[in-house]
Structures are given as structure tokens and as C-alpha cells.
């Protein structure tokens, strides 16, 4: 009977598994959750971009609203637009963070004389250390001309 009691702690210890802690890289990573609507009226309908993020050292976002962390490029244009993200963790903390962000983008417009255009967005984030995330390209969005107000 003593041997059985002696084996119980050994069995309990063997049954315990050390949890594997998933370490996140210091570079942020993003994944697209949704973008929409898929069709917008120029100058009227804003596109909403929703994505998840992970950052191993928690330095995503900035205190200065003029300092951009999210960069969104319209496939029809050469330069991206910058968007401000507030700090997602206390500025002095070095903690892994993850979550979701939803950003309302500026309304789109037609570039040419047609009544319809198709475009995509490409976007990425940059943390305070200058680490750039992966780049995501959205599904196509159709822009239609605003109806004439006659």
C-alpha cells in the first residue's frame, strides 16, 4: 500500500504539462477581418476596415495624433494615407498585445470620367520602434458615381 501512495505524487507530476508560451515577435502582424461595403457612392460612403493585430513588445500606436501608425494605400494612387492609432498599451510597458481595430476610412471618389471604378486597399502598421508589419490587400471595392441632383 505504501508503494501505491508513493506512486500517486509521481503520477500527478507526470500528468502536469508545462504550458507552451507562444512568444510573439517584436514586429507587429495584422490579419484582415473585414472591409466594406463592397460598393460605395463617391464622396458619400465611407469604407470601414477591420483587422486584428499582434505585437510582441506592445509598442503599437502613438501619443501624437499627427504621428501615423497605420498606412493605407488606394491601388489607384501612388502614396498611402496615414491614420493615427492611439497607444494600445502603456507607453513604458513592454508587454505582448493583441486585439482588433476598426477604422473608418475617408470616402472614396472617382478619378476619371467613368461612372464606376474598381480599386483595392493595401495597408500595414508601423510600431514606435519602426518595425513594419506584413502588408494586407483587401478584396476589390467598386466606386460608383453620385447621382445627379437636378
**37-67 residue pLDDT tens:** 999 999 999 999 999 999 999 999 999 999 9
Cα–Cα separations (whole angstroms), residue 123 to 99, 146, 149: 17, 26, 34
pLDDT tens across 112-130, in order? 899 999 999 999 999 999 9
DSSP run (H or E) holding 136: strand 136-137
Average pLDDT, the chain: 87
How far apart, in whole angstroms, are the C-alpha atoms of residue 55 and residue 28? 4
Give the range with max mean pLDDT: 4-13, 65-74, 90-99: 65-74
Contact 140/119 with Cβ under 8 angstroms? yes
What is residue 149's predicted lDDT score, i.e. its pLDDT? Answer: 53
- In the three-class reduction of DSSP (H, G, I as helix; E, B as strand; rest coil), residue 39 is classed as strand
Domains and their CATH numbers in the chain: 24-144 (2.60.40.770)
Cell of 89: 498599451
**Among residues of the chain, what percentage have pLDDT more than 90?**
75
What is residue 30's predicted lDDT score, i.e. its pLDDT? Answer: 98
pTM for the model: 0.81
Longest dimension (CA), the chain: 96
Amino acid at each position: 500500500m505504501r508503494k501505491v501512495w508513493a506512486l500517486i505524487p509521481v503520477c500527478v507530476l507526470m500528468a502536469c504539462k508545462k504550458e507552451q508560451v507562444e512568444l510573439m515577435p517584436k514586429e507587429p502582424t495584422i490579419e484582415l477581418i473585414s472591409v466594406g461595403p463592397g460598393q460605395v457612392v463617391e464622396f458619400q460612403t465611407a469604407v470601414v476596415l477591420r483587422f486584428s493585430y499582434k505585437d510582441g513588445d506592445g509598442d503599437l500606436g502613438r501619443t501624437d495624433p499627427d504621428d501615423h501608425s497605420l498606412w493605407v494605400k488606394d491601388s489607384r494612387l501612388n502614396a498611402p494615407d496615414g491614420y493615427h492609432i492611439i497607444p494600445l498599451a502603456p507607453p513604458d510597458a513592454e508587454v505582448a498585445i493583441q486585439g482588433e481595430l476598426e477604422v473608418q476610412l475617408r470616402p472614396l471618389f472617382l478619378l476619371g470620367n467613368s461612372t464606376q471604378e474598381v480599386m483595392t486597399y493595401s495597408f500595414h502598421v508601423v510600431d514606435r520602434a519602426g518595425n513594419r508589419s506584413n502588408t494586407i490587400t483587401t478584396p476589390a471595392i467598386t466606386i460608383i458615381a453620385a447621382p445627379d441632383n437636378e
